[in-house]
Amino acid sequence: MSSTVTIKNPATGEAIRDVPLHSKKEVGAAVTRLHEAFPAWSRQAASHRAGLLKKWHQLILENQDMLASLITKENGKPLKEARGEVIYAANYIEYYAEEARRIFGKTLPGAANKRLYVTKEAVGPVAAITPWNFPAAMITRKAAPALAAGCTFVIKPAPNTPLTAIELVRLGHEAGIPEDVLQFVNGDGAEIGEVFTSSPLIRKITFTGSTPVGKLLIKNSADTVKHVSMELGGHAPLIVAEDADIDLAVEHTMASKFRNAGQTCVCANRIFVQENVLEEYAAKLAAKAEALQVGNGLEEGTDIGPLINAQGFKKVKGQIEDAKAKGASVLTGARYEEDTEADTYFVHPTVLTNVDSSMDIMHVETFGPVAPIVSFTTLDEAIDMANDTPFGLAAYFFTENYRTGHYLHERLHYGIVGWNDGAPSAAEAPFGGMKESGLGREGGSEGIAPYLETKYLSMGL
């Protein structure tokens, strides 16, 4: 019998709901059911799978207020951001409902006495492990293409935020997706990960999270030669050239840096500003950051919610204090609200200048509302600093000159690039990183490919 764990609101420490903790035996049984359900689901007509996904999409929209409130309660992000995430999550389901009917094969020219065919078919049962920072979108971005392709799917959400996953799966079943085709398991990450990676019945692992955990999953999946998709850590640069529209750059920096209290893998972590516009940019960014309201995401007017836990709080505070000790100037922020008894942790939006490479914040992903600003003289200097990291998930730059824009785009080694755009993600576009930021893409027509096998048929006449 499963034990349970109590999920708490990170803004208040209040209990929300008890959820089950599944044992290794229960997870193994879920995998078996996934395997047994795969043949029938994969042979369903694409139009049938598409119809069920469309119903799931509609039910999510009908329940968006409930889902948004739940996301805010268990994750802490402001309600307005949670509403946006629900719509974003639903968009992936709608998009892949349409893609389900566009899984194309092809014929090839061959010898006169042969017919050559290339077809696509579902990889098999898929196990997904998702993070807490987008508890809805990180699920649908994986589940929608997997189900559309004909794969069965089991989700293991982050321990902090399982409630949204439970409700999404419930709505999927209500839409008509069979219970064994779309499943939920919850429990110890290492234990469940070991079941997923060791089982020959799981044919693909898809993961969003830290690079060290992703590397371990890749390594442990090798014995059964599983397909893997990995969206891993980032350390995004944001470059402001001297010919940028400064007000636009500040507006989009705010959108990138302070969304979800800076707890996103694509938020701007290192801001490089050309020296002759540094003072204007920094002053305007600090003024906007200072105006952000910190508090409970369920309260009207809140812009910045809590950090997810004590570990995250310690890391962010440590980076700020390290930067200050090494000479950084605080334009705003560097203020903290910590209640260890309630287990709630807030960091006020912080803007730092006089930042250099000796500081920890320049080398370790922050995951918090801190904007460190570094001055540069030439574009090549900014490019070198931006690329000086093993990560390559997202990058941003601001310029009104198309030559400068193309120069930067060609030289930044990142999978996602925003040009005068601090929020480039979309269901229609491929999302993923280079270098140690991952393998594969999610979103767009590229996002369904990792859930498909290629089969070649040579038919003699």
Catalytic annotation, residues: 231, 265
Query: Hey, what are 30's tokens?
Result: 């879920």
3-state helix, strand, coil in the chain (%, to 5): 40, 25, 35
H/E segment holding residue 342: none
Q: Are strands 344-347 and 350-353 parallel, antiparallel or unpaired?
A: unpaired
Half-sphere exposure of 369 (CA within 13 A, CB side): 32
CA distance 223 to 197: 8
Local structure of 268: helix, strand or coil: strand
The residue among 40, 139, 124, 43 whose CA lies nearest residue 89 is: 139
Distances (CA, A) of 317 to 205, 361, 368, 384: 34, 10, 9, 27
CB atoms within 10 A of CB 290: 14
Query: Hey, what are 386's tokens?
Result: 């931006």
Phi, psi of 330 (to 5 degrees): -100, 115
Local structure of 314: helix, strand or coil: helix
Judge contact between 232 and 197, C-beta under 8 A.
no
CA distance 91 to 108: 35
The residue among 421, 427, 364 whose CA lies nearest residue 398 is: 421
Local structure of 151: helix, strand or coil: coil
CA distance 433 to 415: 4
Rg of the chain's alpha carbons, rounded to an integer? Answer: 23
Check residue 377 and report its DSSP letter.
S
Residue 128 burial (CB < 10 Å; 0-12/13-18/19+)? buried
Chain-centroid distance, C-alpha 44: 30
Residue type, 408: L
Non-local (6+) Cβ contacts of 311 within 8 A are none
